[in-house]
Chains A and B, each alone.
Chain A
């Protein structure tokens, strides 16, 4: 199967620890700046704290005064969606009457995060659990909140494919345009940093007490992060007269069907997803200028990815941006899609921060310095719990 024509991308929006907007993130990444630290917004009794990458306190949530109304995850999605819509030249007025879909990936956005409620519930004292926590959860479906806040009419989908959710959401949203289900899609991913995921990832012993080092021989695990990344996809008709940020040329996904938490050692699902995306884009592996790797900094993930890189894209420059943003779970695919498109335009990718010494078990090495790239197609990949693998191929735009 191939796509008859690439899908136009007319707007980009992203917030992460690398920066509260795309331009700031690019400046920080190309300057090699990052700021991992122990979590400040919650405490746990872990003896050695894993480091995380939190959003700067300068972040203003759009519904600040009503913070209790929606989860932070939903608010982050709203910020990134608003940035992307503005970038694409849309506002709530001009969207009226358009068929607009919303497809967002998340991990914790749909998880019942209710520590405070549940602690009181379990405690057999006289205190009554705070039902407001449950009410907020029931209002806080990320895709639905964006559709509702912008008063949209069209398909709405929250993808919960763990860490490949954001990548899958963009691939699925583009499918809606091809099928004529809508004219515009707001697509990407969003996730906040929570004690719930912090404890969960710590228990799996894949978080690092130091700044993460994707692909390095001394990598100790991942740093969690938070944020949201959104792209605006538009039909050929609507985007005809516009300069495009980029194009989505291909999407592929496949399941390892191997293990709940470990990737297949040979990356069978990842390879299949890559080849499906290449086929959709009608491109060869040699046509890809660079790869934005999943590169979490865990021993297993990076080993498998590096093997696949060597086998499919020998010699191609690649890097992980998770050292700057942390692993933002369901948001990662959205944020990294935005970075991939921006780097294509810039003709340069940032040094894969945290990498200094090659691992004999990782046959392909990421870029150590900011690296000029030539070519007009790039690939972003995500691997997830449950053996999900998802891949997007983007082409360079005009602005």
Chain B
């Protein structure tokens, strides 16, 4: 399973997003606000999800804001920081 596919799957499971299938989330869909509709609490939960499932740490929410834009940006960050 690719990083993007796995991301979509754990996002739906761990953030409990019902009524959405992984392939319904476009790679460039905005995760926050309009789009998938996530909020600030989901953002910090995402940090844990990414650490738990991919072993990649995100330390600073302000500096990391661009990472959270979409599946594309998240996947790129995970690929670049995987050990």
Interface residues of A (CB under 8 A from B): 47-48, 203-205, 259-262, 299
- Is B11 interfacial (CB-CB < 8 Å)? no
Question: Bound state CA distance, A48 and B62, in angstroms?
Answer: 17
11 extra interface residue pairs, beta carbon distance < 8 Å, beyond A205-B44, A205-B61, A299-B62: A48-B59, A203-B48, A204-B41, A204-B44, A259-B40, A259-B41, A260-B41, A261-B40, A261-B41, A262-B40, A262-B41
Which residues of chain B from 44 to 69 have any CB-CB distance to chain A below 8 Å in the complex? 44, 47-48, 57, 59, 61-62
Residue of A48, A204, A205 ringed by the most chain B CB atoms within 10 A: A205
Say how far A171's CB is from chain B's closest CB, in angstroms: 28
Determine whether the beta carbon of A259 is less than 8 Å from that of B39.
yes
Question: Bound state CA distance, A158 and B40, in angstroms?
Answer: 30
Question: Bound state CA distance, A215 and B39, in angstroms?
Answer: 24
Say how far A181's CB is from chain B's closest CB, in angstroms: 39
Number of A-B contacts (CB under 8 A): 19
Say how far A226's CB is from chain B's closest CB, in angstroms: 24
Say how far B63's CB is from chain A's closest CB, in angstroms: 12
By beta carbon, the residue of chain A nearest B62 is A299
Question: Bound state CA distance, A261 and B41, in angstroms?
Answer: 7
Give the chain A neighbours of B59 by CB distance below 8 A: 48
Contacts A/B (CB < 8 Å), 9 sampled: A48-B59, A205-B44, A205-B47, A205-B61, A259-B39, A259-B40, A260-B41, A262-B40, A299-B62
Main SS class of interface, A = loop
Give the chain A neighbours of B41 by CB distance below 8 A: 204, 259-262
Determine whether the beta carbon of A203 is less than 8 Å from that of B44.
yes
Question: Bound state CA distance, A73 and B5, in angstroms?
Answer: 46
Question: Bound state CA distance, A260 and B39, in angstroms?
Answer: 11
By beta carbon, the residue of chain A nearest B43 is A205
Give the chain A neighbours of B40 by CB distance below 8 A: 259, 261-262
By beta carbon, the residue of chain A nearest B41 is A261
Give the chain B neighbours of A260 by CB distance below 8 A: 41
Give the chain A neighbours of B61 by CB distance below 8 A: 205
Say how far A59's CB is from chain B's closest CB, in angstroms: 33
Question: Bound state CA distance, A221 and B42, in angstroms?
Answer: 18
Question: Bound state CA distance, A259 and B44, in angstroms?
Answer: 15
Say how far B14's CB is from chain A's closest CB, in angstroms: 13
Give the chain A neighbours of B62 by CB distance below 8 A: 299
Say how far B21's CB is from chain A's closest CB, in angstroms: 27
Question: Bound state CA distance, A262 and B61, in angstroms?
Answer: 15
By beta carbon, the residue of chain B nearest A299 is B62
Question: Bound state CA distance, A259 and B41, in angstroms?
Answer: 9
Question: Bound state CA distance, A205 and B61, in angstroms?
Answer: 8
Give the chain A neighbours of B57 by CB distance below 8 A: 47
Give the chain B neighbours of A299 by CB distance below 8 A: 62
Give the chain B neighbours of A259 by CB distance below 8 A: 39-41
Give the chain B neighbours of A47 by CB distance below 8 A: 57
Say how far B58's CB is from chain A's closest CB, in angstroms: 9
Give the chain B neighbours of A262 by CB distance below 8 A: 39-41
Question: Bound state CA distance, A49 and B48, in angstroms?
Answer: 17
Question: Bound state CA distance, A116 and B47, in angstroms?
Answer: 27
10 tightest A-B CB contacts, nearest first: A205-B44, A205-B61, A261-B41, A204-B44, A262-B40, A260-B41, A203-B48, A203-B44, A205-B47, A261-B40
By beta carbon, the residue of chain B nearest A48 is B59
Question: Bound state CA distance, A156 and B81, in angstroms?
Answer: 54
Question: Bound state CA distance, A261 and B39, in angstroms?
Answer: 10
Question: Bound state CA distance, A48 and B40, in angstroms?
Answer: 22
Question: Bound state CA distance, A195 and B61, in angstroms?
Answer: 22
Question: Bound state CA distance, A299 and B63, in angstroms?
Answer: 14
Give the chain B neighbours of A204 by CB distance below 8 A: 41, 44
By beta carbon, the residue of chain A nearest B61 is A205
Give the chain B neighbours of A203 by CB distance below 8 A: 44, 48
Question: Bound state CA distance, A4 and B44, in angstroms?
Answer: 47
Question: Bound state CA distance, A149 and B78, in angstroms?
Answer: 56
Give the chain B neighbours of A205 by CB distance below 8 A: 44, 47, 61
Question: Bound state CA distance, A260 and B44, in angstroms?
Answer: 13
Say how far B43's CB is from chain A's closest CB, in angstroms: 9
Give the chain B neighbours of A48 by CB distance below 8 A: 59
Question: Bound state CA distance, A261 and B59, in angstroms?
Answer: 20
Which residues of chain B from 24 to 45 have any CB-CB distance to chain A below 8 Å in the complex? 39-41, 44
